[in-house]
Amino acid sequence: MTIIHYNHAAFMLSVANLKQLPADQGIEVAIVGRSNAGKSSILNCLTHNKNLARVSKTPGRTQHINLFALDEHRRLADLPGYGYAKVPDEIKRNWQALLDNYLRSRECLRGLLLVMDIRHPLKDFDQQLLMWCSSCNLPVHILLNKSDKLSKSGIAKTLLDVSDAVNCFQNPVTLQAFSALKNTGIKELREKLNEWYS
Ligand SMILES: Nc1nc2c(ncn2[C@@H]2O[C@H](COP(=O)(O)OP(=O)(O)OP(=O)(O)O)[C@@H](O)[C@H]2O)c(=O)[nH]1
Ligand SMILES: [Mg+2]
C-alpha cells in the first residue's frame, strides 16, 4: 500500500484559466463547496499546515484554482467557492465558467470533496453539482463541516437527512461530519483520499 504524506503537501500554483493547469496526468482530487463553507480550512487541517491554503473571514477570497502537490503523481485542487452574493455578476460568471470547465474537462479528476456547512446542507448549487457528478459518474465525498456548531444528536440527524437525500444518485456518494476548528474527522477523510489516490 502506498503511504501518502499529507503533511508534505506543497502549494504548486494558482490558475485563473484551464490552460495554465499542469499536464492532465496522475490523480487529482478537487475540493468544492459554497464560499465560506471551510474548504481552505479543511485543506490546512488535512495537511497539518495552517498556512497552506489561505483561510479568510471574507467569503469569496479564493477566486482561482489553487493546486497543491502531495507527491509527483497526486494533487489536490482547491476550487473557487460558489454562491457568494456580494461578488459582482461578471466575476461570478467567470468563476462558474472556470469551475464548470474544470469539472467537465479534467481527465485526472478522481473525485470531489464537497464541503457544506452542516447547518445549511444541500443548497441549490450543491444539489446541481451532485446531479452533475451523478450524470458523469464522478465519486463525491461530502464533508459536513463546522460540526462543532451542532450537538451530537444534531450531527447524527443531519448525517441521516443528507444520507437519505443523496440515496437517489447513481454515482458513489459518501459523507461524514467534520470540524476544521476542532480537527475532527481527519482520519475518515484520509481514508477516503487514500482510496481515491491508490
Ligand atoms: N466554527 C467553525 N468555523 C470554521 C470551520 N471551518 C472553517 N471555519 C471558518 O469559516 C470561515 C471560512 O473558512 P474558509 O476555510 O476560508 O472557507 P472557504 O470555503 O475556503 O471560503 P472561500 O475560499 O471564500 O470559498 C473562516 O472564518 C473559518 O475560520 C469549522 O469547522 N468550524
Ligand atoms: Mg478558500
Going residue by residue through the chain (198 aa), what tens digit of pLDDT does each one get?
A: 678 999 999 999 999 889 999 999 999 999 999 988 999 899 999 999 988 887 666 665 667 889 999 999 999 999 888 776 566 777 777 777 888 889 889 999 999 999 999 999 999 889 989 998 998 899 999 999 999 999 999 999 999 999 999 999 999 999 999 999 999 999 999 999 999 999
The CATH number of the domain holding residue 164 is 3.40.50.300
DSSP of 42-100: HHHHHTT-TTSS---SSTT---SEEEEESSSSEEEEEPPPB--TTS-HHHHHHHHHHHH
Is 76 within the bounds of a domain?
Answer: yes
pTM for the complete prediction?
Answer: 0.94
User: Structural domain of residue 158, as residue ranges?
Assistant: 6-197
Of ligand 1's listed atoms, the one at least distance from the Cα of 41 is: 15
- Asked if the structure places residue 1 within a domain, the reply is no
- Closest ligand 1 atom to Cα of 178: 31
In a domain, 12, yes or no: yes
Domain membership flag for residue 38: yes
Whether 59 lines ligand 1, by a CB cut-off of 6 Å, is: yes
182 within some domain = yes
For ion ligand 2, residues whose CB falls within 5 Å: 39-40, 62
- Number of domains forming the structure of the chain: 1
